[in-house]
């Protein structure tokens, strides 16, 4: 194995990759432009939809309450505490279940018979809010109405206590306050620590796909594979040169995407900051501001990604060797995306902890350990185990790639 021969193959493959439009699009254009723009406009759309849903006047149907005119009148005349509009628009009685299901009605308020009489007698009653769970407008309206009835209940309790000569503080002898004592970097790392590895894993594999297809199936289509194999360069050096090219594409996609998203985050904060109103400002913070993640954690993530990127490069190169054309190679590698994504999605699920057993599961272990590192937790024993196991898997995949490269039945499959 000669380093000079490996570098010669690598430079040759790199020149061809730079001239290939599809490879440039998959490795540079999509990670740098398409994915950040997608998140930018999705965030913009979500921010606008959330703001419009909060500003829109919900429709509410009152079911019952014929013998409780006081609460009905109070509900009809109620104003929203945070926005300059009525709390809701009351609509005539009808089939509220069907209307809520068809999104024609936001919420139905069911007031039991004898509501006010029972309250005046010191009894307890139950008001039911029927809404569409999962529908944003219905959910916001139900939350606003719940706040209204909670406030109505609080005033009623205060009145009862005052009538009996008691202080309202009898019901609230103390309050509970929650205070975050963790640094902001660890808070943001815990919030976004699962999503960042998920994005990196996807980009890592997609960045390796087209270079792997072009340097194997593409060579066969162009008729240059035979010439390359007839050269005096050993097969191992050829595989290493091609492997380094695929690894370069994988790592380049990650670096381009993370850099572009960092820039887009700053720009997005400025653009969204121009919106009006507290709701827009809140949505701006939620969807566009960049998290304050520990830079040391990001460096740790990049270090842990390296053996996984090598694994993806070897796997993509091996699978592409079996294809006779770019189209066939794409049909082989496209389903592999689901194999890559599923462990990454499982790593996003709450309650799954990093153990010695989960540390041996490829891709899944990367998602878990990166989430821990970004939140400021460094399990050095698991980190070493994951890095070592990932490097072992990458070595086995590369050995399989070299073996397939030496088989004429694979390289020149009829």
Could you report the per-residue pLDDT of 124-158, keeping only the tens digit for each?
Answer: 889 999 999 988 889 999 999 999 999 999 888 88
Task: Indicate yes or no: pTM above 0.95.
Answer: no
Q: What is the pLDDT of residues 219-250, one digit of tens each?
A: 888 877 777 777 777 888 888 889 999 999 99
pLDDT > 50? residue 274: no
Cβ atoms of 279 and 47 closer than 8 Å: no
Domain 56-170: give its CATH architecture.
Answer: 3-Layer(aba) Sandwich (3.40)
Name which of 56, 109, 59 is nearest 89 in CA terms.
59
| Helix or strand run (H / E) with residue 353 | none
pLDDT > 70? residue 290: no
Phi then psi for 92, rounded to 5 degrees? -65, 160
pLDDT > 70? residue 266: no
Task: State residue 270's pLDDT score.
Answer: 53
All CATH 3.40.1710 domain ranges in the chain, comma separated: 56-170
Cβ atoms of 380 and 388 closer than 8 Å: no
Radius of gyration of the chain (CA): 30
The pLDDT mean for the chain works out to 82
Task: State residue 148's pLDDT score.
Answer: 92
pLDDT > 70? residue 116: yes
Burial profile 185-213: b = 16 or more Cβ within 10 angstroms, e = fewer: bbbbbbebbbebbbbbbbbbbbbbbbbbb
d(CA 146, CA 11): 66
Cβ atoms of 161 and 122 closer than 8 Å: no
Name which of 174, 145, 135 is nearest 53 in CA terms.
135
- Stronger pLDDT, 186 or 32, i.e. the higher one: 32
pLDDT > 80? residue 277: no
Residues forming a β-bridge with 89: 59
Entry field: residues in the chain: 414
Task: State residue 34's pLDDT score.
Answer: 78
Cβ atoms of 379 and 372 closer than 8 Å: yes
Residue 368 tokens, joined: 């878990």
Name which of 122, 124, 121, 109 is nearest 71 in CA terms.
109
């Amino acid at each position: 194995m000669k380093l000079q021969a490996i570098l010669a193959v690598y430079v040759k493959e790199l020149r061809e990759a730079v001239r290939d439009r599809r490879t440039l699009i998959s490795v540079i254009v999509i990670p740098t432009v398409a994915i950040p723009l997608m998140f930018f406009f999705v965030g913009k759309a979500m921010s606008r939809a959330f703001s419009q849903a909060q500003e829109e006047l919900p429709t509410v149907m009152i079911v019952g309450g014929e013998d409780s005119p006081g609460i009905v009148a109070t509900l009809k005349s109620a104003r929203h505490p945070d926005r300059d509009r009525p709390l809701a628009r009351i609509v005539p009685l009808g089939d509220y279940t069907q209307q809520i299901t068809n999104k024609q009605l936001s919420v139905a308020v069911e007031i039991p018979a004898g509501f006010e009489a029972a309250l005046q007698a010191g009894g307890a009653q139950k008001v039911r809010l029927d809404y569409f769970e999962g529908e944003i407008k219905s959910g916001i309206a139900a939350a606003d109405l719940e706040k209204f009835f909670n406030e109505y209940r609080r005033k009623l309790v205060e009145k009862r206590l005052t009538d009996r000569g008691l202080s309202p503080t009898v019901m609230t002898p103390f309050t509970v306050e929650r205070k975050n004592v963790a640094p902001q970097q660890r808070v943001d790392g815990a919030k976004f620590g699962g999503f960042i590895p998920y994005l990196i894993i996807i980009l890592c594999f997609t960045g390796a796909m087209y270079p792997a297809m072009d340097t194997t199936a593409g060579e066969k289509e162009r008729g240059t594979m035979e010439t390359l194999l007839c050269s005096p360069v050993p097969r191992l050096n050829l595989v290493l040169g091609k492997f380094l090219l695929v690894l370069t594409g994988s790592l380049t996609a990650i670096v381009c995407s993370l850099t572009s998203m960092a820039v887009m985050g700053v720009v997005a904060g400025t653009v969204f900051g121009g919106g009006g109103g507290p709701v827009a400002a809140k949505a701006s913070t939620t969807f566009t501001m960049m998290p304050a993640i520990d830079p040391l954690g990001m460096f740790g993530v990049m270090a842990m990604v390296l053996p996984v990127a090598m694994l993806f490069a070897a796997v993509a190169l091996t699978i592409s060797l079996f294809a006779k054309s770019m189209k066939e190679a794409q049909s082989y590698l496209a389903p592999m995306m689901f194999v890559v994504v599923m462990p990454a999605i499982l790593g996003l699920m709450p309650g799954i902890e990093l153990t010695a057993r989960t540390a041996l599961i490829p891709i899944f272990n990367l998602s878990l350990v990166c989430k821990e590192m970004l939140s400021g937790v460094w399990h050095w024993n698991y980190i070493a185990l994951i890095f070592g196991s990932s490097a072992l898997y990458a070595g086995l995949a590369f050995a399989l790639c070299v073996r397939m490269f030496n088989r004429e039945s694979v390289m020149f499959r009829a």
